[in-house]
Amino acid sequence: MTTIAELREQVRGPVIEPGDDGYEEGRRVHNGMHDRRPALIVRAAATADAIAAVNYAREAGLDLAVRGGGHSGPGFGTSDGGVVLDLSLLNNVFVDRTKRTARAGGGTTWGDFNHATHAYGLATTGGIISTTGVSGLTLGNFGVVTSLELALHPVDTIYGGPMFFEVADAPALMRAYDDYIQEAPEQLGAFFAWQMAPPLPFIPEDRHGDVFCAIVACWSGRPEQGEQAIKPFRDVAEVKAEHVGPMPYPALNAAFDGLFPKGIRQYWKGDYVRDLPDEAIAAHAEHGPGVPTVSSTMHLYSINGAAARVGPEETAFGHRDARYAMVILSASPDPGDDEADIRWVRDYYAAVHPYSGTRGGYVNFMDSDDAARAPENYGGSYERLRAIKAEYDPDNLFHLNQNVTPAD
C-alpha cells in the first residue's frame, strides 16, 4: 500500500496532515456547522495529483471528499478521518472567444470564472455568490472533474440589482412576480427574497435591521431597456430602498458575498415548486418576515425559458416541469443561534411544502438530514444515474455527495 511519504513524492501540490501548516484552514469548509478533521488533505496542483489522491484513498479504504469551492450545505468537501482532495489550486480559466466557451479548472469559483469571461464581454449562468464553486454547482457523484467546459453568451453590463419593498406588500409582490416572470423576456432573470436590511448606504439608516421583501433582478438585454423590463415589479408598490442600475455582471454576482463569509453556520431546506396558490403565498407571508438573521432568507428562483426547452432525458436534471427552485436558508456566525434558526427553517418549510406540487428539490439546496430525498430530487433521472454509477463507480467510492447509489 502507498504510504503518505510515497504519496508526497507522487504529487506536486501540498499534502497536509494534522499538525502541518495549513491543516486548520484546509480542513474547514464554507458551512461552519461542519467541524471535521480529515486524516489527509491533498491540494492537487495537477490532474496527476488528483489521480494519486483518489488511488490513495481507495487503497487505504478511507472516505474521499472531493472539494471544489467547498460550499456544500452538508459539508461534503471535508470528512472526519478521510482524505480531502482539494481542487482549489486548479482555478485557471481559458476563454475561447471564437467558440464562446470557457474551460475552467475543477476548483474554479464563480468569481474566478466571471473575472476571466467578463474581459471578453461573455458570461454563463451561475450562482449568486462569487465564492461558490463552479464544479459543485454543476456536478456531483461521478469521479473527479479536473476541468470543465461551459458555453458562454454575450453578457457584459447588466441592468439590475435588489429592490426592497415593505413586508405588507409581499403577497401582492409575490403574485406579480409569479404572473410576470413566466412571460417576461428571456433576458430577464429575477428572484423573490426576504431580506433583513444590512447597514448599507442605499438603505435609510433608520430601516437598518428591518425585514423587507425583495426582488433581485438581472436584465441581460440592452441596458437602456432594463428600466422597462423591471417596471412590472415597481408597479406593485413603492420601492423603499434599492441598488438598481447598470453594473458589470461580476459585480452583481459578488453583491451578496458579504452576507455569506466562510465559516458562517448554515441550515438549508428546499423544494421545486410547480404552483404558487394563494395559500402558499399566505404561508410565505406568515413565515418569511421572521427571518432570524441578516444572512437568513428564502429565495424563489424561476426555472423557465431555455431550461424548459431541454428534455428530461437529455441531462441529469429531471424536474423540467418545475417553475421554481425554492430554498429556505438560515445563516449565522453564532452557534447559540443554531436551534432557533433551524426551527425557523423547518417551520417555514413545513408550512409551504404541501403546496409545492412536486416531490423533489434541487440537490444543491439539501442539507445532511435530507440525504434520503436523493431519489426524488433526481426525479425521473434517478434510475438512469444509478445504472451509470454502477458502471463507473460500482463501489461508490464517490459517496460524499447527494448520493446516487449504484444499481444492483
Ligand X SMILES: Cc1cc2nc3c(=O)[nH]c(=O)nc-3n(C[C@H](O)[C@H](O)[C@H](O)COP(=O)(O)OP(=O)(O)OC[C@H]3O[C@@H](n4cnc5c(N)ncnc54)[C@H](O)[C@@H]3O)c2cc1C
Q: In whole angstroms, how close is the CB of 146 to ligand X at the nearest point?
A: 7
Q: Which is nearer to ligand X, 111 or 288 (CB)?
A: 111
**Rounded Cα–Cα distance for residues 44 and 13 (Å):** 5
- Output the smallest distance, CB 228 to ligand X, in A: 26
Is the Cβ of residue 69 or residue 318 nearer to ligand X in the bound state?
69
Give the C-alpha separation, 210 to 202, whole Å.
Answer: 14
> Smaller CB distance to ligand X: residue 14 or 270?
270
Q: Which of 147, 92, 97, 102 is nearest to 125 (CA)?
A: 102
Of the pair 14, 136, the CB lying nearest ligand X is at: 136
Q: Shortest Cβ distance from residue 282 to ligand X (Å)?
A: 26
How far apart are CB 198 and ligand X at their closest, in Å?
Answer: 15
What's the gap between Cα 320 and its chain centre? 18
Strand intervals (E) in 230-337: 241-242, 245-248, 265-273, 297-302, 324-332
The CA distance from 268 to 283, in Å, is 18
Q: Output the smallest distance, CB 343 to ligand X, in A.
A: 20
Residues that bind ligand X (CB under 6 A): 30, 66-73, 76-77, 87, 106, 127-129, 132-133, 135-137, 139-140, 144-145, 260, 364, 400-401
Give me the least distance between CB of 2 and ligand X, in Å please: 22
Minimum CB distance to ligand X, residue 183 (Å): 23
Identify the DSSP state of 394.
T
By C-beta, is 216 or 283 nearer to ligand X?
216
The CA-atom distances, in angstroms, between 352 and each of 137, 283, 287, 372 are: 25, 6, 9, 20
Residue number of the CB atom closest to ligand X? 136
Closest CA to 260 of 399, 131, 380, 136: 131
* Between 145 and 294, CB nearer to ligand X: 145
Q: How far is the CB of 235 from ligand X (least distance, A)?
A: 27
CA 119, CA 194: separation in Å to the nearest integer? 33
- Terminal-residue alpha carbon distance, the chain: 29
**CB closer to ligand X, 15 vs 144:** 144
Joined grid coordinates for residue 306: 431555455
- Rounded to 5°, the CA angle 95-100-161 comes to 85
Q: What are phi and psi of 287, to 5 degrees?
A: -95, -35
- The angle, 0 to 180 degrees and rounded to 10, between the axes of the packed helices 278-287 and 170-183 is 130
Between 93 and 137, CB nearer to ligand X: 137
- Cα separation, 133 vs 90, in Å, equals 11
**Minimum CB distance to ligand X, residue 75 (Å):** 7
CB of 145 to ligand X, least distance (A): 4
C-alpha cell, 34 = 461542519
Residues contacting residue 57 through CB under 8 Å, at least 6 positions apart: 63, 64, 82, 83, 85, 397
Nearer to ligand X, 100 or 399 (CB): 399
Q: Which is nearer to ligand X, 70 or 318 (CB)?
A: 70
Q: How far is the CB of 260 from ligand X (least distance, A)?
A: 4
Which residue's CB is nearer to ligand X, number 146 or number 356? 146
Angle between helices 278-287 and 338-352 (to 10 degrees): 170
The DSSP annotation for 219-235 comes to E-S-GGGHHHHHHHHHT
